[in-house]
Amino acid sequence: MAVASARSKFHFYNSMTCLLTALEGKVITVEIRNDKVIEGILDLVEADMNLNMSNVVLTDVLGRSTRLTKFYIRGRQIRFVHIPDEVDIIKAMQWQIDKTEYYKGQERKDREKIMDRRQQLREKKSAQLQAREKRM
C-alpha cells in the first residue's frame, strides 16, 4: 500500500480487499471462473483484488492438477476465497485497517514536516519582499 492511488485506497476500505490483504502469507484456496480451484501461498493482494501467489496447485473441473511456481490472477476471475478456519474475519479486517491507518498517520507526519519546511521558506521569502517594499 506504499504508493496507493485514490482508487486503490477506495477499494481497500470499501470492499473486502482488506480481508484478503490480511491473509497475505497464508495458504488459501480460491475458486475461480471456469470451475478451477487454486491452492497456494498468497503473496500480495492488489487493489482490484488481483492476487499474486506462489507454489500454487491449479485443479480443473476434471480433477487434473498443475503445479505452478508463480501465479497471478485478475480479481475479476475470482468466485470464492476459502478463508482459513483460524482466521477471525472481523478481527483480521480491523487489524489490517488499523495497520494501514498507522502507516498513513506516519506518512502524514512526514508530509507535515515537509509542509512546515516549505512554509518557513515562503515566510522568509515574503519577509524579504516586505523589506523590499519598505525600501521602495
Q: Which residues bind other proteins (CB under 8 A)?
A: 6-7, 9-11, 13-15, 32-35, 46-48, 50, 52, 56, 58, 64, 66-77, 94, 97-98, 101, 104-105, 108-109, 111-112, 114-116, 118-119, 122-123, 125-126, 129-130, 133, 136
Q: What three-state secondary structure class fits 2?
A: coil
Cell 475458486, located at residue: 31
Nearer to other proteins, 7 or 26 (CB): 7
- Show the DSSP H helices in 15-74 as ranges: 17-22
Residue 58 contacts residue 38 (beta carbons within 8 Å): yes
Instruction: State in angstroms the smallest separation of the CB of 95 from other proteins.
Output: 12
Query: Which DSSP letter does residue 86 get?
Result: T
Pairwise CA distance, residues 4 & 21, whole Å: 14
Instruction: State in angstroms the smallest separation of the CB of 83 from other proteins.
Output: 20
Instruction: State in angstroms the smallest separation of the CB of 26 from other proteins.
Output: 19
